[in-house]
Amino acid sequence: MQGIIVAYRLVVELFGSAKLFLARVNELAFTPGVAEILEQILVLWRITRQKVLVPTFQVIVIVCMAMSVIVLIEKALLGVVSWCARVSHRRPEKIYKCDPIAEDKELGSLAYPMVLVQIPMYNEMEVYQLSIGAACRLTWPVDRLIVQVLDDSTDPLIKALVEKECQKWRKQGRNVRYETREDRGGYKAGNLREGMKHDDYVQDCEYVAIFDADFQPESDFLVTTVPFLVHNPRLALVQARWTFVNSNDCLLTRMQEISMDYHFKVEQEAGSSICGFFGYNGTAGVWRVQVLNEAGGWNDRTTAEDMDLAVRAALLGWDFLYVGAIKVKSELPSTLKAYRSQQHRWSCGPALLFKKMLLEILMAKKLSIGKKFYIVYNFFIARRFISAFFTFFFFSLLLPMKIFFPEITIPGWESVLIPTTITLLHAVGTPRSFYLLVLWVLFENVMALHRCKAILIGLVEAGRVNEWIVTEKLGNRLKMKHIVNVTRRFLLRERFHLLELMLGTFLLLCACFDFGYRENYFYVFIIPQSIAYFVVGFGYVGVVVPNLDT
C-alpha cells in the first residue's frame, strides 16, 4: 500500500513540477540503479511533453477554435434569419397562397383532394387511442379522408386493442383501415412503405399526412396545411411544429424542450426561409404523394428515413415549407434509456446518410450551388457533426487536460465568450427555462459523448449502425404503475453507463489535481461537469419512481 502511495505522489509531482519529482526521488533515497532509471524517465517525459504532447494539444486547441467559430456562425446566421422573418412578418401565409379550399355546390366534397393519414405504431399501449382519435376527428370531408393505422405490434393484446379502436371509429362513419404485416422489416420506413402499397385505396390519394403514435393534431390540421400544397405546385412538404404535453414531467423533459424549441423556432424556420429546405421531422407533416413516388418512396438504409426522403426530394428540385403557427401535441422521452436510444438514432442515421449521399448531393443537377452548400455544410457538417465534436472535445477533454499542461494557451474568447454566446442563442427558443441553462449546458456536454459515438458508428458503419429501438412512451396522462414498470426494468444492469462514469472519474481526478497543485480555480468549472457525468452515468435522470406505499 505504501508503494502505491509513493507511486501516486511521484506521478502527481511529475505532472505538477519536474523539480518536485526529482527532489522527491532524492528524498526517498532510492538505490542508484532505480534513481538513474527515474531520472531517465524524467528526461524522456520532458522531451515527450515539449516535443509531442504540448504541440499536439495546441493543434487540438486550434481545431476546437475553428470548430467553435463554425458553430457560432451557423447559429448566429440561423438566428438572424429567423429573427428577420419574425420582424418583417414574412409568415408562410403571406409568401405562399393558402386560401381555403373553395366549396363547390356541384362538386360537393369532390372539391377537396383525397388525403391519407398514416399512423405507424409498435406496441403503443399508452397512446394508441390518443393518436387514432385525433386523426379521426380531423376536419375534412369523411369521404375524402382515409385514416390508415399501420400496426407493427408484436403483443397480441395490444394488437387486439388497436384493432378494436379502429372498429369503433369505423362504426362512427370514419374510413379507418387497420393494416398489419408479417414482420418488422425496415422498421418505420418499411411500415410506411408497405402502407403505400395498398393500391385499392391509396392510389386515389393526392396527399399523405403522417403522425407518430404519440402525436395529436388539432382538428383543423388538414384545413390549414393542405391548401399550401394545393395552391403551390412546387411544394413537396408542409411541416408543422411540435409542442409537448409532458415538458413539465421532470428535468430531463425540461432540458429536451430547450433543444427542441430551438430546433423548430430557429433551425426549421431558417431553413425554410433561406432555401426552402430542412430536415423532415418524420411526423406532423403533409407530403405530396407525387413527390414520394418520384423520390423512390421510403428507404430503410439508415435510421434517419425521414431525412433520407427529404434529401432525395430536395435533389429533384422540390421545396419544403415549415409553418410554425401550426402546432401538434406530442410526447418527449421521459426516461434516460428512451432518450439515449432516440439520440443514438438521430445522430447515427444522419452520419450514415451523409456518407451515402454526399456525392449524389454534389452532383445533383436540379440543385443550385447555394442549396448544395446549405445542405452539405450547414445542415450536415456544422449542425450535426462539428457541433457535437466541439462540445465533447473542448469541454470534456481539452479544458481538463490544460490542468496538467499549463503551457497550453486557450484564449478567453474561446473558453468563455463563444460558449456563452452559443448558449444564449439556444435560450431564445424557450425563455421560460432560462434559469435552467447551466444545467442544460452540463447535460448537453454529457450527451455530446453519446452523440459523437453514434456519429462515428454511422460513418464507419459499425455494428449498431442500423439499431432501431422505438422510443418508449408513457402517455400524457401519467399512469404511475407503468412508470414504475418502465423504470424498474433498467434499475440494475441497464442503469450504469460505463463511458459516462469513466469520464466523470477522469474529470473528478482533474479537479482534485487542480485544487491541490494549481491556482487557476479550474476545478470550480470541472467539478459540476464531473457530477453531471456521474448523474447520467448512474441513470439518475428522467422520471421519478413513485413510492408504491403512498
Which stretches of 245-351 are assigned E, i.e. beta strand? 285-288, 319-330
**321 bridge partner residues:** 238
Q: 212, 214, 306, 514: which is the annotated catalytic residue? A: 306
d(CA 319, CA 313): 8
306 flagged as catalytic: yes
Q: Which of 295, 290, 300 is nearest to 315 (CA)?
A: 295
In angstroms, the Cα distances linking 39 to 15, 75, 401 are: 15, 51, 24
Phi, psi dihedrals of residue 105, rounded to the nearest 5°: -65, -35
Q: CB 484: neighbour CB atoms within 10 A?
A: 15
The secondary structure of residue 92, as a DSSP letter, is: H
In angstroms, the Cα distances linking 16 to 29, 46, 400, 423, 513 are: 21, 12, 14, 33, 9
d(CA 170, CA 167): 5
The secondary structure of residue 233, as a DSSP letter, is: T
**Cell numbers linked to 540:** 439518475
Q: Which of 240, 363, 232 is nearest to 291 (CA)?
A: 232
Q: Which of 213, 148, 212, 153 is nearest to 182 (CA)?
A: 153
d(CA 78, CA 267): 6
Q: CB 116: neighbour CB atoms within 10 A?
A: 25
3-state helix, strand, coil in the chain (%, to 5): 60, 10, 30
Q: CB 358: neighbour CB atoms within 10 A?
A: 14
Residue pair 235/319 in contact (Cβ under 8 Å)? The answer is: yes
Q: CB under 8 Å to 412, separation ≥6 — which residues?
A: none
DSSP string, 40-78: HHHHHHHHHIIIIIHHHHHHHHHHHHHHHHHHHHHHHHH
The secondary structure of residue 99, as a DSSP letter, is: P
Q: 151, 152, 212, 261: which is the annotated catalytic residue? A: 152
d(CA 511, CA 465): 35
Q: CB under 8 Å to 49, separation ≥6 — which residues?
A: 405
- Give the H or E element holding residue 243: strand 235-244
Phi, psi dihedrals of residue 426, rounded to the nearest 5°: -70, -35
d(CA 159, CA 170): 17
d(CA 99, CA 333): 37
d(CA 437, CA 67): 22
**121 bridge partner residues:** 151
151 flagged as catalytic: no
- Catalytic center residues: 152, 306
